Amino acid sequence: MEVIMKHFGLLGEHLSHSISPQIHQYIYQKLNINADYSLIEFPREDLESIIKSLYRSSMSGPISSPISGVNVTIPYKKDVIPLLDNIDDLARSIGSINTIKIDQGKLSGYNTDYYGIQASLEDYLPLKSSTFLILGYGGACLPLIAYLLNEGAEKIYIASRNPQKGIDDLESIMGPENTRPAIEFVGYDQLDKIKGKIVFNTTPLGMFPNLDQSALSKEIFKNFDIAVDLIYNPCETKFLRDARRSGLKCQNGLKMLVYQAIRAVEIWNNIQIDKDTASDIYRHFNKTNIMENTYFMENTYFRQFIAFPENLQPIYLVGMPASGKTSLGRLLADLLGLGFVDLDRYIEDMTGKRLEDIFKKEGESAFRDYEEEALLATCKLENTIISTGGGCITREKNREILNNSDMVFYIVRDCQTIIDKSSLEDRPLIKSNSSRIFDLYNNRKSYYEEVADYPIYNRSSLETALFDMVDIILDRYSDNKNTKREGENINEK
């Protein structure tokens, strides 16, 4: 029986930089859905005719085959509403549509940006009784406002070039009873007095190719704990870079983009994608996005300032199992043009044995012997990033090697986050009892702090931790300094 190909697409005015086709094709491949996804670009005056063409079983013009569903992006998220047959209750309350399902000759509108925002902010809950600042009042602002209100926000400030226009528009969508007194529009000259939990950038400032722009002055970041930018290219905008250097947790817009796509696929295909699969999809694109962005930066920014010595000693990453050492080490090595060694994989290659088999058949002590031998061999390498095993620091000889090295990054990640967010199947010491990680941490914490030069907090996003390391390397090697900088206070923040 022939499987019918489904067709989906994205409606918008300027779509040349969209990565939605890559995201959707990856999801379809992962879920074994026979479908494709295309970009449907057209001017504003063609919107009504394009929507009408969705009804037809045989289409012409920009849409050349039957389509089962489309996403909608700027500037059509509001304009499309009166052209549809049905509007989902959530989308109607938000006043914005970004997903249309075509079924039995009817067009139904949804807002999946809301679910993308929900996924992006899950690590920062609870939001109840908190204050927020949103920079800009564009299409992405509406689902964000709705989500924050539903989570019990006490106050939402919205910075706009035309505050009165924003007030009138929002009240026409949500009604004054739902927007007052929780929401207040302000001018950009009033931001220095606002303090809150999260500051959001929904403006296009900082988006490629205008990389040197930000909607917020550096000195205002101190008034917030978290910064979220809905831009995903570059993965670290000037807004996020300034926020990170001010000590804030940071999140870019990729997670929102991926999770809204996942929700659209669920709606179009009447399916539910499990949490683990959704996480795998996001992790795939997060790593891809970092490397695509850093490849650009590698050739135009980082390399021209870094002056490594000819015989650079290994740069080490230490930390708990599943803290992110291997992912960050590989990304850092690729970014800086250095070699990379995962010490656990090195041990497997050296012994011809799987780690799990060593632990099962020979015990932990034998593994530590192999680990000591592997570290002694790899410490002679030059121009290399080395990701160590979580327990490497328990041996005194290993700590001596690390203490005599030039640079050791301690990747710090909360134990409960490791349990909640990571697969522990390939972690022999904790896979059968994840709660044991707390005991391991308490036993090892002082050793990590002993060998570490720089703590790197992997607590919000992978790219934040990566760029923290890059900043330190730039500071250390920009003028080929040869003295080791004093380590920071590496107690838990």
Q: Is the model's pLDDT at 132 over the cut of 60?
A: yes
Please measure the distance between the N-terminal and C-terminal CA atoms of the chain and give it in whole angstroms. 59
Residues with catalytic roles:
77
Q: Sheet with 106-110: list strands edge to edge.
A: 35-41, 6-12, 69-72, 99-103, 106-110, 86-87
- How many CB atoms sit inside 10 A of residue 172's CB? 10
| Order of all β-strands in the sheet with 454-457 | 339-342, 384-387, 315-319, 407-412, 454-457
Binding residues for substrate: 344, 368, 390, 444
Q: Where is average pLDDT lowest: 53-57, 163-167, 171-175?
A: 53-57
Q: What pLDDT, on the 0 to 100 scale, is given for residue 66?
A: 76
pTM (2 decimals)? 0.74
Q: Residues forming the annotated binding site for shikimate? A: 18-20, 73, 98, 113, 232, 260
- More confident: 102 or 336: 102
Domains along the chain? 6-111 (3.40.50.10860), 116-253 (3.40.50.720), 306-477 (3.40.50.300)
When pLDDT is averaged across residues 358-379 and rounded to a whole number, the result is 94
Q: Which amino acid is at 488?
A: E
Rounded to 5 degrees, what angle do the CA atoms 370, 417, 118 make? 140
What does pLDDT average to over the chain? 86
Residue 325 has pLDDT above 50, yes or no: yes
Token readout for 92 is 């109607």
Binding-site residues from annotation for NADP(+): 89, 136-140, 230, 253
More confident residue, 291 or 265: 265
pLDDT at 43: 93
Q: How far is CA 395 from the centre of its chain?
A: 35
Confidence (pLDDT) at 429: 64
Q: Which residues sit opposite 410 in a β-bridge?
A: 318, 455
